[in-house]
């Protein structure tokens, strides 16, 4: 009799969990991801900004990198030009569709690299500076509701559906009110936590928003993180030749 009672309780628990899972509206979260993508995409205007990176490394100490960032979502292009430190001045990255090139003025050569690679050994990835899509590159695995600080959020578990993103699994904390990503966690194929991201401030630009402060934390090396602050944000039209190899070659002359 006791055994049957335990089995009945287990069946009830399973039924409750199944009902709770069925009650979740995954289409709502998919819609929110599309909104996140939409408001962080700028197909009708160019973007430029200065990025100041402060890298904290327990072994290397404190480092500062200043980068001028040019972005054109129409055509999937960006150009990153390093201005500081002086030893790296003139180095740059050029994205042309599926091709990402790194230019070193000391050798005057271009080398093919990847969006998945670390930017200059920091905790930022090259992909962090390009336009890409949560809604098309990931599928929603699960979600819960919670709070982050004073903000009600959706906590969304994602699994990559293609290999264009740096990490195959991700978790996002998205505000319910205006659909801003406040926090991220990114995981390896065996679901080991690799990197965390914090996005404490945003700026409205035209009809969209961009984070003006980003903090990327290396979860494998204690005390290692990179803070990025954006300034001099502009939507002025950029000359077409900005997004060329020739521009990078001339930039440090």
Q: From the CB of residue 91, how many other CB atoms can be counted at a distance below 10 Å?
A: 21
Whole-number pLDDT of residue 163: 85
Q: CA triplet 102, 107, 108: central angle to 5 degrees? A: 65
Contact (Cβ atoms closer than 8 angstroms) between residue 45 and residue 235? yes
Instruction: Report if residue 164 sits inside a domain.
Output: yes
Instruction: Report if residue 149 sits inside a domain.
Output: yes
Whole-number pLDDT of residue 100: 94
Return d(Cα 204, Cα 201) in angstroms, integer.
Answer: 10
Structure tokens at 94: 């050029």
Return d(Cα 88, Cα 54) in angstroms, integer.
Answer: 15
* 3-state SS assignment for residue 98: coil
For residue 177, the enclosing domain spans 37-251
Residues facing 228 on adjacent strands: 53, 214
Nearest by Cα to 244 from 66, 110, 84, 115: 110
N- to C-terminal Cα distance for the chain? 87
pLDDT digits (tens, 9 = 90+) for 210-252: 999 999 999 999 999 999 999 999 999 999 999 999 999 998 7
Instruction: Report if residue 55 sits inside a domain.
Output: yes
How many residues does the structure list for the chain? 253
Instruction: Report if residue 32 sits inside a domain.
Output: no
Instruction: Report if residue 4 sits inside a domain.
Output: no
Whole-number pLDDT of residue 6: 46
Domain CATH code at residue 140: 2.50.20.10
Instruction: Report if residue 98 sits inside a domain.
Output: yes
Instruction: Please list the ranges in the chain whose pLDDT falls under 70.
Output: 1-22, 253
Instruction: Report if residue 26 sits inside a domain.
Output: no
Whole-number pLDDT of residue 125: 94
Structure tokens at 122: 């920091």
* 3-state SS assignment for residue 34: helix
Whole-number pLDDT of residue 194: 97
pTM of the shown model: 0.87
When divided into structural domains, the chain yields a total of 1
């Amino acid at each position: 009799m006791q055994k049957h009672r335990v089995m009945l309780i287990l069946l009830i628990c399973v039924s409750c969990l199944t009902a709770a899972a069925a009650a979740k509206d995954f289409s709502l979260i998919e819609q929110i991801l599309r909104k996140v993508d939409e408001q962080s995409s700028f197909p009708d205007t160019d973007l430029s900004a200065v990025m100041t990176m402060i890298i904290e490394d327990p072994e290397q100490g404190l480092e500062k990198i200043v980068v001028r960032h040019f972005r054109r979502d129409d055509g999937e292009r960006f150009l990153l030009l390093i201005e500081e430190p002086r030893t790296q001045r003139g180095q740059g990255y050029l994205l042309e569709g599926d091709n990402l090139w790194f230019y070193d003025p000391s050798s005057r050569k271009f080398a093919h690299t990847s969006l998945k690679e670390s930017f200059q050994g920091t905790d930022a990835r090259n992909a962090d500076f390009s336009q890409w899509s949560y809604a098309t590159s990931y599928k929603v695995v699960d979600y819960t509701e919670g709070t982050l600080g004073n903000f009600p959020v959706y906590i969304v578990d994602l699994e990559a559906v293609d290999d264009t993103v740096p990490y195959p699994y991700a978790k996002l904390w998205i505000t319910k009110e205006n659909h801003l990503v406040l926090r991220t966690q990114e995981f390896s194929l065996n679901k080991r936590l690799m990197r965390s991201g914090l996005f404490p401030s945003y700026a409205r630009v035209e009809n969209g928003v961009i984070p003006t402060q980003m903090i990327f934390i290396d979860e494998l090396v204690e005390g290692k993180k990179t803070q990025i602050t954006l300034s001099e944000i502009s939507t002025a039209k950029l000359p077409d030749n900005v997004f060329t190899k020739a521009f990078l070659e001339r930039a440090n002359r």
